[in-house]
Amino acid sequence: MDWTRLRASPRFAWLSFGVIVLIAAAVFRNGVSAQEGAPAAPPAPGVTVAHPLAEVVPRWDEYTGRFVPIQHVEVRPRVSGAVEKIHFTDGQIVKAGDLLFTIDQRPYQIAVDSARAEVARMQAQTSMLSKDVARGETLVSGGTITKRDMDQRRGGSDSARAQLLGAEASLRNAELNLEWTQVRAPIAGRVSDRRIDVGNLVQAGTTLLTTIVALDPIHFEFDVSESDFLHYSRSGATRQKGKTPAYVRLSDETDWKRMGSIDFLDNQLNARSGTIRARAVLDNKDLFLTPGAFGRVRVNGGDLAALLIPDAAIASDQTNKIVMTVTPDNKVVPKPVSLGPLHKGLRVILSGLDPKDRVITAGLANPMVRPGAIVAPTEGVIAPLAN
């Protein structure tokens, strides 16, 4: 076959054009098939967004503190001697004046008897000398005795009366020492354990017998930061009948049902810690609150303009708390926030959010909702959950 003449002929040109068209059509069909078989891009995850709820809420400042007794007494003997009896059980609740210890009374009873005898002797001597003075008044007027003798009688009578007063004072002192052999509770409260046993010799004013703490009412001491102290001083915290209320809860309690009032603020700030010591007083009728126990106290610091969001909208990033927000172009942007207490079932945001922010309130569980992701937001509303 003459290929040169064939390529030059018009029939060959049309044949070549047809082949090219068939090849192009096949390529086009293959491309369309490949596009139809490729997986579609996933849709943007749906979330619910809402603006933070702006409200004026009470500012509550919380501090850690410790319960301390309103009175703490170390019981020591006021006379020396051997302990004869112990009249209480360790840890017992006692009233003021209850008998706790008895010290050997015999030497003090002897001292009282001796003092009484001395008083009786001086009373007899004073009575006799007084009669001598009365008789002398009659004798000196008749010239039987001289005025000098009369002055001596008066002097002797006055000296006897002075000695009688001294003897009576010694008797009262002896009776007081005898009374002190019975060691009584100076205050009402809970007594500690005995520090001595029957038969021990105790020294007046030195030997520790036991201790007593008053339990009702009870104090709660805590430290206030300098910034909070300045805030209270400038704004004047909310007061009721001249007293600042304070609410206390124990370490295993969740509500603030124990109410007291601030009754003391120290006279200077601690230079090292930058805090000032404060104290609240609370009723403790059931004697449940125990000195030395830890607790939390919160104090009303006035009103605070704050933003509120649900706790479900708050996530944790290591040690920080963050809130996911959505920009106008539907991109997720995290914002670190500072949290406050709960108010009406919502969490108070102290800083980090703007009232115009669109906060993701639902849909955070979707793993595709992460910083920088594009989402499909649905507008919602944040409403109080409780009064």
Who has greater pLDDT, 29 or 98? 98
The answer as to CATH 2.40.440.10 being correct for domain 80-103+184-213 is no
CATH number of 61-70+215-303: 2.40.30.170
- What is the average pLDDT score of the chain? 84
The answer to whether domain 47-56+305-379 and domain 80-103+184-213 are alike in fold is no
The pLDDT value given to residue 32: 47
Which helix or strand (DSSP H or E) is residue 125 part of? helix 106-141
> How much is the average pLDDT of 101-112?
96
Q: Which sequence spans correspond to the domains of the chain?
A: 47-56+305-379, 61-70+215-303, 80-103+184-213, 105-180
CATH number of 47-56+305-379: 2.40.420.20
- At 3, the pLDDT band (50, 70, 90 cuts) reads very low
* Phi and psi, residue 92, nearest 5°: -75, 150
Domain with residues 105-180, CATH architecture: Orthogonal Bundle (1.10)
pTM, two decimal places: 0.67
For every residue of 328-341, DSSP letters joined together read: TTSBEEEEEEEEEE
The tens digit of pLDDT for each residue in 303-351 reads 778 899 998 889 887 778 999 999 999 999 999 998 887 888 888 888 8
pLDDT greater than 90 at residue 302 = no
**Which residue bears the tokens 């910034």?**
227
Q: pLDDT tens digit string along 214-233?
A: 999 999 999 999 888 888 88
Partners of 326 in the β-ladder: 332
Classify the C-alpha dihedral 245-260-211-290 as positive or negative.
negative
Helix axes 106-141, 147-180, angle to 10 degrees: 160
Q: What is the pLDDT of residues 137-187, one digit of tens each?
A: 777 666 677 777 777 777 888 888 898 899 999 999 999 999 999 999 999
* DSSP string covering 47-78: EEEEPPEEEEEEEEEEEEEEEEES-EEEE--S
